[in-house]
Amino acid sequence: MSDRKRVCIIGAGPCGMAALRNFSQSALDVRPEVVCYEKQNTWGGLWNFTWLTGTDEYGEPCHGGQYKHLWSNGPKECLEFPDYTFDDHFRCPIPSFPPRAVLREYLEGRWTNGDDDLRKYIKFNTVVRNVVYNDASQNFTVVSTDLKAGVSSTEVFSHVIVAVGIFNVPNKPHFDGIDTFEGRIMHSHDFRDAKEFKGQRVLVVGASYSAEDLAMQCLKFGAKSAICTWRTKPMGFKWPKGIEERPLLLRLDSNTAYFKDGSSAKVDAILLCTGYRYAFPFLEDRLRLQSGLTMYPDDLYKATLWLRSGGGRLFYMGLQDQYFSYTMFETEAIWTCRYIMGTIPGEPKSQAEMRADAENWVARRKELKGPHDDIDFQADFIADLSAAVGYKPEAKKVADMFHKWEHDKDADIVSYRDQSFQSVFTGTVAPTLKSTWWRAFDDSKEAFVKNSE
């Protein structure tokens, strides 16, 4: 192959688009050639809402896992790009916790805010089937399939960026008697509309963000009750009437659930908010990350560059458990693109130095005791990465907002989305909703803007 670098990006969600945008804006005389593969028919990744579950029209697993009435569960001020603020996009202040359609529009505005049409680099409706690293030639062979045409092709790349996200393959635990359950069972990945559970007694298995939000969504839209069952520790919020927590579900018998504390309850539906598994079936074994979801995966330099094989040319993006999201993806994208282009001072380091750096972060990760530790850890990670490339996402200031957000949730899980935050970039103080989140049943952009006027 020629001396010009040729980069494969797998996925056109927020991570893949951040990488693509940064390559497109490179000031180098000779930019790398970039090809992005996206199995959906548009960009956006997880932010593309669809009613489809299971498999799509091509028999591929549905990527989308968002539901109709999803609102941000973190302040938008914690997601804000320093060089493309919410004021830049909307031209007016908006409340701190927008619904999904508003956040997707913000992302798309950033991707189209430039002279280069990023779509021309993306092969839509194309799924990557196989990626192999060739030791002798120090490059990758990538096999993909155009789903519409039903035709496969093979290309060679100097570098590969895996940006498929972490919400693809649901983790579905087994419970004794689950096959005898008479009601509906679904993983949160397939949850689409809380109205489906109106009048029902819902059992939510899990104790993290999706469990918290789905229990609240179901009650908000008319569920009779919700029980959240936990394995390690309860969420511990001051729940509204109708939601309670119980220790781990042990077994089911018809429509009766039995819990570790000896209690039981009749339930009509079960929502498995039990997380996801890393899944990279298109990568050969030695390229495949095996770590579980964590604040800093093993075997990655800067949580991005794969250390075990691939000749220092394979990168993963957005694999951490996330407090920061958009700005963390952007920071990783800038670092990855500049590393590939060879424009980061002091890089590349030796394998030993990179391994030591990664192990230091992993050791610190193992000492984390809870969400406030996690927030500071991720802020430090972003600050470390951004300092190397001159990016200024103000991670430490944003961390202060995340700490407040955690306290707001502890004070009142129903009203935390009604709080107002101030942009660290523009100084704009978000207006409050005229009608509280608990009373807002229309998640469209139009209703959201009208509710905030």
- Tell me the per-residue pLDDT of 335-385, one tens digit each, with 9 for 90 and over: 999 999 999 999 999 999 999 999 999 999 999 999 999 999 999 999 999
d(CA 416, CA 136): 56
Question: What average pLDDT does the segment 199-217 reach?
Answer: 97
Provide the mean pLDDT of the chain: 95
Structure tokens at 421: 């935050």
Question: What average pLDDT does the segment 277-304 reach?
Answer: 94
Is 323 in contact with 315 (CB distance < 8 Å)?
Answer: no
d(CA 256, CA 273): 19
Structure tokens at 334: 């800038």
389 DSSP β-pair partners: none
The label of the residue with tokens 């929502």 reads 271
With residues binned 3-state (H G I as helix, E B as strand, rest as coil), the percentages for the chain, rounded to 5, are 30, 20, 45
Residue-level pLDDT at 291: 80
Is 128 in contact with 143 (CB distance < 8 Å)?
Answer: yes
Structure tokens at 265: 């309850």
Selected residue with higher pLDDT from 146 and 115: 146
d(CA 22, CA 247): 46
Question: What average pLDDT does the segment 186-193 reach?
Answer: 96
pLDDT above 50 (res 126): yes
Give 325's DSSP letter. -
Structure tokens at 408: 């707001």
- Picking from 383, 364, 384, the residue whose alpha carbon sits closest to that of residue 374 is 364
- Picking from 136, 236, 217, the residue whose alpha carbon sits closest to that of residue 440 is 217
Distances (CA, A) of 95 to 36, 79, 324: 34, 13, 18
d(CA 78, CA 396): 11
The label of the residue with tokens 């990855």 reads 336
* Domains of the chain from N-terminus onward: 6-168+276-402 (3.50.50.60), 172-272 (3.50.50.60)
CA dihedral 366, 370, 371, 375 (to 10 degrees): -40
Residue-level pLDDT at 451: 87
- Say which range, 46-50, 75-79, 449-453, has the weakest mean pLDDT: 449-453
pTM of the predicted model as reported, rounded to 2 decimal places: 0.96
d(CA 255, CA 277): 28
Residue-level pLDDT at 168: 84
Give 135's DSSP letter. T
Residue-level pLDDT at 1: 44
Structure tokens at 434: 């005229």
Is 27 in contact with 180 (CB distance < 8 Å)?
Answer: no
pLDDT above 80 (res 312): yes
Overall size of the chain counted in residues: 453
- Picking from 35, 41, 63, 285, the residue whose alpha carbon sits closest to that of residue 160 is 35
Residue-level pLDDT at 356: 98
203 DSSP β-pair partners: 227, 270
| Percent over 90 (pLDDT), the chain | 90
d(CA 138, CA 313): 9
pLDDT bucket at 2, cuts 50 / 70 / 90: low
d(CA 122, CA 120): 6
Is 303 in contact with 296 (CB distance < 8 Å)?
Answer: yes
Residue-level pLDDT at 167: 87
Question: What average pLDDT does the segment 378-403 reach?
Answer: 97
- With a CB cutoff of 8 Å and minimum separation 6, the contacts of 199 are 222, 223, 224
Give tens-digit pLDDT for 238-256.
999 999 999 999 999 999 9
Give tens-digit pLDDT for 139-163.
999 999 999 999 999 999 999 999 9
- Say which range, 58-62, 369-373, 427-431, has the weakest mean pLDDT: 58-62
Is 245 in contact with 174 (CB distance < 8 Å)?
Answer: no
Is 81 in contact with 110 (CB distance < 8 Å)?
Answer: yes
